[in-house]
Amino acid sequence: MVDLDFAIEDVKVEKHSAAPLLLFALRVVNKTPELPVLNVMLNCQIRIEPTRRRYDGDEHDRLSDLFGEPSRWGETLRSLLWTHAGMATPAFGAACKVDLPVPCSYDFNIAATKYFHGLERGDVPLNFLFSGSIFYRDGEGRLQISQIAWTKDCAYRLPVSVWRDMMEHYYPHSLWLCLQRDAFEQLYRYRRRRGLPTFESALQELLDASAASAP
């Protein structure tokens, strides 16, 4: 039976995608090279491990929306599911290196986006959990199929700077905010009545009015 190991060696931003996309350089090592691999239908669950890094400065405040007050982080900091990814590898003998594509969202209703945005520097501790099917030929040339062992995983620390560079490339000088339809219609109506040129100016006017009325 084929035995595979996995390691993430690097990451880069795909600059020519229709939506934000990271490409993780994945190295797949065949620990049984006498059984050449024809193809791997690979699935990957990617999790964020918040307890594997320190938090400084404004990060405590920026992450309070996600984890609550820092005094409670001993209870609230838990592993978070970020996303799932999948791909098919080419045939290989001892090892191969492929790009694992991971689509990224900038929706601030999603916990992972809040976490990435809340970090000022450093990196994001990730854990990649692998599963899927391995197609290979045995010693007599017969086609065989086996499953990737459920214990196969690897850790990688994604630089926060890579995430920020990606979002700046796809959303230059802006952030992406999703509103419920009724809230959007109210804001749109306010903007039209006030004759304001952009939604940003409508929000800024409302925020200034709220600040001025605050005790």
- pLDDT tens column, 117-142: 999 999 999 999 999 999 999 888 88
Instruction: Decide: 163 and 153 in contact? Cβ < 8 Å.
Output: no
Tell me what pLDDT residue 155 has.
98
CA torsion 12-13-17-23 (nearest 10°) is: 30
Mean pLDDT on 62-90: 93
Tell me what pLDDT residue 195 has.
92
pLDDT at 177 over 90: no
- The model's confidence at residue 145, banded by pLDDT at 50, 70 and 90, is very high
pLDDT at 3 over 80: yes
Mean pLDDT on 183-212: 90
Q: How far apart are CA 208 and CA 205, in angstroms?
A: 5
- The model's confidence at residue 176, banded by pLDDT at 50, 70 and 90, is confident
Tell me what pLDDT residue 138 has.
87
- The model's confidence at residue 175, banded by pLDDT at 50, 70 and 90, is confident
Alpha-carbon distance values, 9 to 28, 92, 148, 202, 212 (Å): 11, 18, 20, 45, 52
Mean pLDDT on 7-19: 96
What the block records as the tokens of 133 is 């099917």
pTM of the model: 0.86
pLDDT at 215 over 80: no
Q: How far apart are CA 113 and CA 109, in angstroms?
A: 8
